[in-house]
Amino acid sequence: MTTKSRVPLNAILLSSSQFIRAAIGFIFFLFLARRLGPGNYGKYVFAFSLAEIFSILGDIGLHEYSIREIARRPELLRQRLAGILVLKTLLSSTSAIIMLAILPLMGKDRSTSLAVVAFALAQIGYSWFYTATIAFAARQDMHIQASLWLMEKVLFAAAGMAVIIAGRGFVAVALSNTFVQFFGGVVAVGIAWRKYGPFARRLDRGQWGGYLKAALPFGLIVAFYLVYFRIDSVMISFFRGDDEVGQYGAAYNLVSALMFLPAGLVAALFPRLAGAFSSPEDNLDGPFQRAARWLLALSLPMAVGIWLLAEPLIVALLKDTYLPAATAFAVLGWTLPVWFITFLQGNLLTIIERQKAVAVVGLANMILNIGMNLVIIPRFGFTGAAVTTLITEIIGLTQMFWLLRRNISLAETAIMALKLAALTAVMGLLVWLLRDRMNVFVVIALAALVYAPAVVAFGIIPWQEIREILSRKSAPSGPPQIRPNEGL
């Protein structure tokens, strides 16, 4: 008896959903940045970044830990989900209270403070939404998760655009996000309750300490990386002012909008691999090489394209007021290949229960990044922050490869990367020759038309592999068997 493997379908569903979600978010970001201008957009980015840093306290790793454990033992879903929901509500409420308590010490103006309050309260609603996605991910019902993610993004963008068109400012946008997060949280929990319930009504409060202790390594990973990714905007705000935060936020968001690609693939892959691997000695070369091939094939041409077309892209997307962000945008473009691979590496290390090592890497990167930014931001501003981000990412990538040296073939990865680099260089030459002669989007389209068939023709992404993913071939029932070059 056979059953269709959900991993290819889940990868397609999540990537498609996240593509649409990212497209909506990207359009909303462009709308918001253009309408607010660098100064007010910088205040919005500061408030959001601060709330993101404090959101660490609202989860402490429970999300990733719970997905892994329930994927391995599905019977835990009904036993634990109610307790996790209550625990995450308490944690996110505590996080909001702490943030509001220290807000007066920051010396920010009234509008920025109100935006911080709105984002702080939104974390509570988001914790409900995030709790429900534990069930969907662990049961691999990614169509539900994808639909809910999409609903949340559509509502947020629609509400935000409506208040801006109505003449309100960034505070109203932050408040509309609070409403959307609470609404989305209630809907997501209701669906999970109806589909997977009834859940245990007796909350296992006596085991909460054990949950938090087991989840802490996951939480530290998230904490270190969230601080690392968001602290630069907060530091720029204090050292250089809101206008530079707006410029940096524009460059950063143009690049980070593309992170839906590895997120969708890894989100679909994680539950299946979590059920198949558990030992630090497991051979992960098959799923790693297959996923890395796709991620590098996508990210390397993006990096080269951003480097060569930074200024015309900034002008076309954000107007001349954001032209100072072009250099930072060009530098941050090179973080894409590094981000894509380290995102995959970190999740694989978590699957084989080496999350403590990932946490150590995250801590080292966070300390290094903050230290460099303390020196560089006061003197070189947001462009210097972009450079420190790239340097830190490259160091983190090297550390991750060292941790996985017994689980994957570094030589095979290097050979694949060199092949892709050669094809990307040819594409880059074409872009360089055409960039001053044609519209920037026409240049991008022509480059893609040359690059994509070449990747398939040279066997880097075999056509058979594309057909297998699209056809969603069946796989044996029972525990998933990951063989070399499998994993999607």
* Per-residue pLDDT tens digits for 278-317: 555 666 777 778 788 888 998 999 999 999 999 999 999 9
The answer to the question of residue 391 being in a domain is yes
- Per the model's pLDDT, the better-predicted residue between 146 and 337 turns out to be 337
Concatenating the DSSP letter of every residue in 106-162 gives G---HHHHHHHHHHHHHHHHHHHHHHHHHHHHHTT-HHHHHHHHHHHHHHHHHHHHH
DSSP state of 56: G
Cα separation of the two ends of the chain: 21
pLDDT at 414: 85
Nearest residue to 240 (alpha-carbon basis) of 46, 29, 391: 46
- Confirm if 407 and 352 have CB atoms less than 8 A apart: yes
- Confirm if 125 and 182 have CB atoms less than 8 A apart: yes
Mean per-residue pLDDT, 81-92: 82
The answer to the question of residue 485 being in a domain is no
DSSP state of 475: E
Mean per-residue pLDDT, 389-405: 90
- Confirm if 43 and 252 have CB atoms less than 8 A apart: no
The answer to the question of residue 136 being in a domain is yes
Q: Is residue 440 within a helix (H) or strand (E), and if so which, with residue range?
A: helix 440-457
Q: How many CB atoms lie within 10 A of CB 204?
A: 15
pLDDT at 472: 47
- Per the model's pLDDT, the better-predicted residue between 252 and 349 turns out to be 252
Give φ, ψ of 169 to 5 degrees. Answer: -105, -160
- Asked which of 38-47, 396-405, 442-451, 458-467 is least confident by mean pLDDT, the reply is 458-467
The answer to the question of residue 324 being in a domain is yes
- Per the model's pLDDT, the better-predicted residue between 305 and 23 turns out to be 305
Torsion of CA 361, 397, 228, 280, to 10 degrees: -40
Helix (H, G, I), strand (E, B) or coil at 283: coil
Q: Quickly state the pLDDT bin for 466 (edges 50, 70, 90).
A: low
To which residue do tokens 């949950």 refer?
Answer: 211
**Domain span including residue 90:** 2-469
The answer to the question of residue 443 being in a domain is yes
- Asked which of 46-55, 175-184, 306-315 is least confident by mean pLDDT, the reply is 46-55
- Per the model's pLDDT, the better-predicted residue between 14 and 195 turns out to be 195
Q: Does the pLDDT at position 412 exceed 70?
A: yes
Phi-psi group of 61: left, alpha or beta (phi > 0 → left; psi -120 to 50 → alpha; rest → beta): left
pLDDT at 136: 78
- Asked which of 51-55, 67-71, 235-239, 410-414 is least confident by mean pLDDT, the reply is 67-71
**CA–CA separation, 386 and 305 (whole Å):** 17
Q: Is residue 23 within a helix (H) or strand (E), and if so which, with residue range?
A: helix 6-54
The answer to the question of residue 333 being in a domain is yes
Average pLDDT, the chain: 82
Radius of gyration of the chain (CA): 22
Helix (H, G, I), strand (E, B) or coil at 64: helix
How many domains are there within the chain?
Answer: 1
The answer to the question of residue 481 being in a domain is no
**CA–CA separation, 208 and 309 (whole Å):** 51
The structure tokens listed for 28 are 């909303």
- Whether the bond into 8 is cis, omega within 30 of 0: no
The answer to the question of residue 479 being in a domain is no
pLDDT digits (tens, 9 = 90+) for 352-385: 777 778 878 888 888 999 999 999 999 999 999 9
pLDDT at 266: 63
- Confirm if 218 and 157 have CB atoms less than 8 A apart: no
pLDDT at 99: 87
Global pTM reads 0.79
